[in-house]
Structure 1
Amino acid sequence: MVNSSHEAMHRIFQEDPGIFTRTFRTLGIPFPDTTEVSVLTTDLTETQPLERRLDTLLQVGTVDGRSYLLAVEAQGRKDPAKHSSWTYYLAHLHAKYGLDPVLLVVCQDESTARWAAQPIRIGPPEWPSLTVRPLALGPHNVPVVTDPSAAARDVPLAAFSAITHGKDPNAAAILEALATALKTVDEETATIFGELTELGLGNTPAAQIWRDLMAIDLSFFRSESSQRLRAEGKAEGKAEGKAEAVVTVLERRGIAVGDDVRSRVLDCADVETLDLWLSRALTATTAEELFSQA
């Protein structure tokens, strides 16, 4: 089941796909600079009654004139069944788009990330017919950003660092650097990456640290809904604050919110559902996409 932390771990690449190139360049894998990115449908369902769906799929254009597909999967634990799914995804994407696919698996613990990075070999051991080599990001190889000036230079990477290191002893220092950096950017950017960070931290102890940090200084983010959202851990109106935040994010992004959508969101009292809708509101192109069955 998709949850808010899961959504943020892969959707941050939709907000700034350049995180992919910048992160792996520090690991010695020289992916070329990105020139353009298109968000593609994540539905890999065929005509047969079998549904397969990626978390995020991007078409990336590079400075050398090439394009490739970046398939991003957020993985919370080891799941051997994913091996066959990932193999299918890459073969299907290559056949469907005629472009070279890259599989990126984002994890919040080192054990899962190292498991995800292992090559997947299909076929007899004497002659594997197909080998899948996922790229995996986790707390062991994502940069730890604790310098506020470094965080300010690359807010998306700082937010990604905070999400992947949410269970790390250094989490508080990373979050403090990010909180400081968010004060240096425009309000809309602060809104997006502030909310993505909170969603990505999920139920970790770092999530409460982040809420406390956001409650200290709200000068850079002044909307009533957002102030209520930051105080939600201590307030009775948690669901109401989240519901209003969903509507506010859509409207701030210039997306029309009809009466039916508004009523459905504001009448919802389920916090987990509202978390999911809030994450989707950051990238949706229509208000109705909040209710996708993905």
Structure 2
Amino acid sequence: MELFRSRPELAVDFLREVFELSMPDATQTHAEPCDFTDIGPKEYRGDVAFSVTDETGTALVGIAVEVQLARDGTRKWSWPVYLVTLRARLKCPVFLLVVAPDSGVATWARQPIELGHPGLTLHPLVLGPELVPAVTDTAEAIAVPERAVLSAIAHADGPQAHEVLSALIAGLQKTDDQQTKMYYDIVLAALSESAQHHLEELMTTGYEYQSDFARMYVAEGRAEGRATEAARIVLRILDAKGISVSDEIRVRITSCDDVDQLERWVDRAALAKAADDLFN
């Protein structure tokens, strides 16, 4: 989601290029509140929402962007709320863009959501790995590093792996330090173990990648790699068993850097009937 917060135009581009939707040729985008609260006490909070406006500040379209890393049955109830609330707030057409790096999750997210009223069916626009354009040109990666990040996540295990990872490195070396660390962490957490090794090799061999960027982040990535992989296994086991994981528990798992603790959670996940069983 940080990619879209940093560059909201990214969502507009994908809706236009991948889904062939007509998007306004506007030069301004504005972040919108992500709290979609109804009249009751329950609050619905999305990932990223923004509007595309004309020169007078009038909203032309609204876009809610959701990053979906695993199946979550609650989304079929919350996603329609996001769109309806954003539409009422902006008084313009709105779109739901779901970014799903995993192909299985992307297939699940594309399922139509029947609202009950005749003719009202929400078809989420899902950007799965097969729809993310491969960025292999270093000039494009430098110009829009966020596209290079998504490209690397989607194609690092494919036939263009070398080209997309090389472009990624070129793009990241041109961002500021804070963005570099954030984008590198996003990529590292999403890549398979073999793709992580490929990225490390590119960053530590060859004159063009011998930089402070490479030395700093490769060393840090190796230290964090085992914990990241263990956390991913815990979540995949729970997902495979159809166990719903709350945002609070997901954050607790993914933010843990104690490998021994994570491995204990892997063992418990195999026997768990609910996510809370990990901690009991």
TM over 0.5: yes
Task: Find the counterpart in structure 2 of residue 131 from structure 1.
Answer: 121
Shift of 1:74: 0.8
In 1, the alpha carbon distance for the partners of 2:188 and 2:134 equals 15
In 1, the alpha carbon distance for the partners of 2:151 and 2:134 equals 6
Conserved? CA contact 2:59–2:92, under 8 Å: no
Counting only pairs closer than 5 Å after superposition, residues 156-175 of structure 1 correspond to structure 2 as: 156-166=146-156, 168=158, 170-175=160-165
**Structure 1 residues 28-71: Cα deviation after superposition (integer angstroms, max 9, x where no partner):** 32323341122222222345331311011112225796432211
**Structure 1 residues 221-240: Cα deviation after superposition (integer angstroms, max 9, x where no partner):** 4xxxx95443114459x99x
Change beyond 3 A, Cα 1:198–1:209: farther
Please, which of 189, 194, 199 is the counterpart of residue 210 of structure 1? 199
Task: Find the counterpart in structure 2 of residue 101 from structure 1.
Answer: 94
In 2, the alpha carbon distance for the partners of 1:208 and 1:42 equals 36
Structure 2 residue 134 is matched with structure 1 residue 147: no
**Structure 1 residues 130-169: Cα deviation after superposition (integer angstroms, max 9, x where no partner):** 2223211121111011233443343221222123335545
In 2, the alpha carbon distance for the partners of 1:168 and 1:198 equals 20
Conserved? CA contact 1:138–1:165, under 8 Å: no
Please, which of 206, 220, 230 is the counterpart of residue 232 of structure 1? 220
> Structure 2 counterpart of 1:15, which letter?
S
Structure 2 residue 187 is matched with structure 1 residue 196: no
**Structure 1 residues 153-212: Cα deviation after superposition (integer angstroms, max 9, x where no partner):** 4322122212333554544431122112334x3x51x65155324324415323444345
Counting only pairs closer than 5 Å after superposition, residues 270-285 of structure 1 correspond to structure 2 as: 272-273=254-255
In 1, the alpha carbon distance for the partners of 2:256 and 2:50 equals 25
Task: Find the counterpart in structure 1 of residue 3 from structure 2.
Answer: 12
Question: Structure 2 regions of 5+ residues with no counterpart?
Answer: 228-251, 258-280
Change beyond 3 A, Cα 1:46–1:30: closer
Task: Find the counterpart in structure 2 of residue 176 from structure 1.
Answer: 166
Return the TM-score normalized by structure 1: 0.63
Task: Find the counterpart in structure 2 of residue 38 from structure 1.
Answer: 30
Shift of 1:214: 4.0
> Structure 1 counterpart of 2:16, which letter?
R
SS at match of 1:231: helix
Question: Structure 1 regions of 5+ residues with no counterpart?
Answer: 1-9, 240-269, 276-294
Name the Cα RMSD after superposition: 3.4
Task: Find the counterpart in structure 1 of residue 15 from structure 2.
Answer: 24
**Structure 1 residues 236-275: Cα deviation after superposition (integer angstroms, max 9, x where no partner):** 9x99xxxxxxxxxxxxxxxxxxxxxxxxxxxxxx995489
Conserved? CA contact 1:18–1:34, under 8 Å: no
Counting only pairs closer than 5 Å after superposition, residues 253-268 of structure 1 correspond to structure 2 as: none
In 2, the alpha carbon distance for the partners of 1:213 and 1:34 equals 38
Please, which of 82, 85, 89 is the counterpart of residue 92 of structure 1? 85
The higher relative CO (CA closer than 8 Å, separation ≥ 6) is in: 1
Change beyond 3 A, Cα 1:59–1:182: same
Identity %, equivalent residues: 32
> Structure 1 counterpart of 2:172, which letter?
L
In 2, the alpha carbon distance for the partners of 1:109 and 1:54 equals 20
Conserved? CA contact 1:162–1:197, under 8 Å: no
SS at match of 1:144: coil
Counting only pairs closer than 5 Å after superposition, residues 110-121 of structure 1 correspond to structure 2 as: 110-121=103-114
Change beyond 3 A, Cα 1:24–1:101: closer
In 1, the alpha carbon distance for the partners of 2:160 and 2:63 equals 29
